[in-house]
Amino acid sequence: MQLSVDKVPAAVGGNATVIYGIMALSKKGVLIVNIADRIQSLRKTQGLSQEELAEKVGVSRQAVSKWESEQSVPDLDKVIIMSEYFDVTTDYILKGIEPVKDLESNSNAVIGKILFIASTTFIAIGLFCAFAGWYEEQTADSIWGSMIIQAVGVAGYFIGKLISLEKPHYIISWLNIALACFMPISLIVNYSLSKVISPYPIDTLSACIFLLLYVIITASFYVILKKKNK
């Protein structure tokens, strides 16, 4: 197959012919993804921002941005650095001819994703159980039991991180934080104002204070997590 590389700028470097040839093949459907996609996928799999990857490789953030937008390609020495950091071969980054992870790692990644989703589910179930239990009985026991369910969800989240060795999507992390902090904030506000332990605000004043604190905390975590995900 003839590789079309006539229009490759000379300034790109000696590896331009091979790399752009691979990218041309990709666009014709021979490869599923090109170099830019693989670099971006590897970076996001490790939960790195463009700035963080640039620092590890020894280039500017703009250089990484250009790699991922197909405006330029990394020199071979940078490809080698990335292959060592991401624990893949240079062939994978350049050609995509081998999987990033072996079968066991892929299995662990799937298990990790299941645990991440399950963790959010358990935390949400615990919160709703606390609402229902307090509404029916208004006893502390109903709250503590629900918090145990949430603790199981939190444990599942961290076990998932250990098994998969990957960072979960920032939305999953944020949802877990938003759901998990709802009840503690409510308990603190209600007890401080009325000496009542309730999983949700019980009057207008507590509702206003709770809402203010809850929005500030969850919004702050959202901004932090989203920034780290870039």
pLDDT at 230: 64
Q: Name, in order, each residue with C-beta under 8 angstroms of 173's C-beta and a sequence gap of 6 or more.
A: 167, 225
pLDDT in tens, 61-72: 999 999 999 898
Residues of the chain with pLDDT > 70: what percent?
80
Going by the DSSP 8-state scheme, the letter that residue 72 receives in this structure is -
3-state secondary structure 114-133: HHHHHHHHHHHHHHHHHHHH
pLDDT at position 74 is 92
pLDDT (0 to 100) of residue 229 = 74
Which residues, in sequence order, are CB contacts of 145 under 8 Å at separation 6+?
Answer: 129, 133
- Contact assessment for residue 78 and residue 57, using Cβ atoms and an 8 Å cutoff: yes
Q: Which of 97, 82, 74 is nearest to 20 (CA)?
A: 74
Distance CA 168, CA 161 (A): 7
**pLDDT number for residue 100:** 45
Half-sphere exposure of 62 (CA within 13 A, CB side): 0
Cβ(187)–Cβ(197) under 8 Å?
Answer: yes
Query: Which has the higher per-residue pLDDT, 96 or 219?
Result: 219
Angle, vertex CA 167, rays to CA 165 and CA 170, nearest 5: 165
What are the distances in angstroms from CA 85 to CA 43, 56, 103, 138, 217?
10, 8, 20, 54, 34
- pLDDT value at 8 more than 70: no
Asked whether the beta carbons of 46 and 82 are under 8 A apart, the reply is no
Is 174 exposed, middle or buried (CB count within 10 Å of its CB: 0-12, 13-18, 19+)?
A: buried
Q: Which domains does the chain have, with CATH numbers?
A: 10-95 (1.10.260.40), 103-229 (no CATH)
| 73-118 pLDDT, tens digit each | 899 999 999 988 888 888 888 887 665 445 566 677 788 889 999 9
Spatial neighbors of 46 by CB under 8 A, at least 6 apart, are: 86, 166, 167
Per-residue model confidence (pLDDT) at position 96: 74
pLDDT of residue 141: 77
Residues 6+ apart with CB under 8 A from 164: 108, 109, 111, 112, 113, 115
- What pLDDT score does 99 carry? 52
Q: Could you give the CA distance from residue 135 to residue 144 in angstroms, rounded to a whole number?
A: 14
Of 124, 117, 121, which is closest to residue 164 (Cα–Cα)? 117
